[in-house]
Structure 1
């Protein structure tokens, strides 16, 4: 089911699409099919596609289902050798730590579909040559700039996936944190209220440069934050409310996460 969260003022960001699936499993399946179609469409236009991945249970579940689709005959197909993969945030922990979004994504999808190593742009690990997360963040910003067209600081990002925490954080931008006010494209984040405390994250500048942003949210514990975000909460108090794609923003929810949204006609 697709609903509109309501009207916005003329100078506000475009009203996002809201898609509701009955449960988390069907949400992951539908998002996987849509992701394949979106990357295939980008390749049809540009020859390549660029996606920014997220972690979390629903984010990794989507990647697992994408891997399954890669082995099935589907209407749209993706040339995974022509996909650039970036990340929205990462834990600043050792490379072999099971909490790394990169490690989970490789297991769920990237190793299975054969994305070339030079197209996998992982955020640095804590044992990857940078003693401080600030240096690692600056390096990642340089990698983004190196992939950008001449005169730009950021590359074309066709699709950016995000999750959201129960308090409204997205990527590693937490409510009322310095990251929520930082205009740099990549940030070092310390003292996160959710472990591990040290992370690297894209900032709003990079996130909102993406052509499309999809927020994948499941579970009744996130329903209040979903409702607040779609009602127009400010990005500092609820960072997920501050993301918007250049062309489209989609909230992909299961029924539990959408439980506090107003229904059409109510």
Structure 2
């Protein structure tokens, strides 16, 4: 399949462990390819069970230690508004799973401010927006992520953009404060849909039978206002990496057996 195709495709692995390893392997191959050209590489991470599983699989792969991470910058599509050391923070999970094990400059890790650092939620969103703008690209006042990882909730949410809420429709901001989230914790910071969709490659990783309905709706072209995952699309590639349990409603013609 052509590298420039941005049609939504589905890659199916047998179970969550195989899924994490397959995504990790593809990610390391992508980083190796990009770093050979000595270009900056921007990666947006996500939280959740599969997000952490992928990062742990990256750390366990021998190739990770041999790569040059000095040109790789890590970001988060969303963050929970909790103290810096709270186990709910996506940053904490990512550091424990991978980032603290890499030889990477501290300034390459771009985390959202925490609730115990003297800022309010709105100020934290504005600060992250300004940080993104330091690496603006041709596609907006934000970097174009070479890979943007996203989880997908059973309700179809991505990042902290939840169904039938105003945040999913915002196009004039890069980062938003989110209050009264339907999923705890109630306060969060989230990138907006234009930032996510400026990514070159958008990889959504999801496992479990409880994700099958959301995946089916996203692939069927549901309204992104009701199913935010349906509105996520990378500029070059949009791939749903799923296990067999989540793939129950995937049309055969959308299964990619080559990627």
**Change in CA separation of 1:149 and 1:263 when aligned onto 2, cut-off 3 Å:** closer
**Change in CA separation of 1:204 and 1:46 when aligned onto 2, cut-off 3 Å:** farther
What is residue 20 of structure 1 aligned with on the other side? 12
**Change in CA separation of 1:152 and 1:73 when aligned onto 2, cut-off 3 Å:** closer
Structure 2 residue 180 is matched with structure 1 residue 179: no
* Separation of aligned partners in 2, 1:29 and 1:61: 8
What is residue 186 of structure 2 aligned with on the other side? 197
Structure 2 residue 22 is matched with structure 1 residue 30: yes
* Separation of aligned partners in 1, 2:144 and 2:253: 35
TM-score, normalised to structure 2, is 0.91
C-alpha distance after superposition, 1:13-70 (max 9, x if no partner): 942121000111000000000011111222223433111000100110000010011x
What is residue 228 of structure 1 aligned with on the other side? 217
Contact 1:37–1:77, Cα closer than 8 Å, also in 2: no
Contact 1:29–1:65, Cα closer than 8 Å, also in 2: yes
TM-score, normalised to structure 1, is 0.89
Q: Secondary structure at the match of 1:45?
A: coil
Q: Unaligned 5+ residue runs, structure 1? A: 3-12
What is residue 9 of structure 1 aligned with on the other side? none
What is residue 8 of structure 1 aligned with on the other side? none
What is residue 57 of structure 1 aligned with on the other side? 49
* Separation of aligned partners in 2, 1:106 and 1:26: 22
C-alpha distance after superposition, 1:236-266 (max 9, x if no partner): 000011111111111000000111222349x
* Separation of aligned partners in 1, 2:112 and 2:13: 31
Structure 2 residue 246 is matched with structure 1 residue 247: no
RMSD value, Cα: 2.0
Q: Unaligned 5+ residue runs, structure 2? A: 255-259
* Separation of aligned partners in 2, 1:221 and 1:103: 26
Structure 2 counterparts to residues 98-113 of structure 1, below 5 A: 98-113=87-102
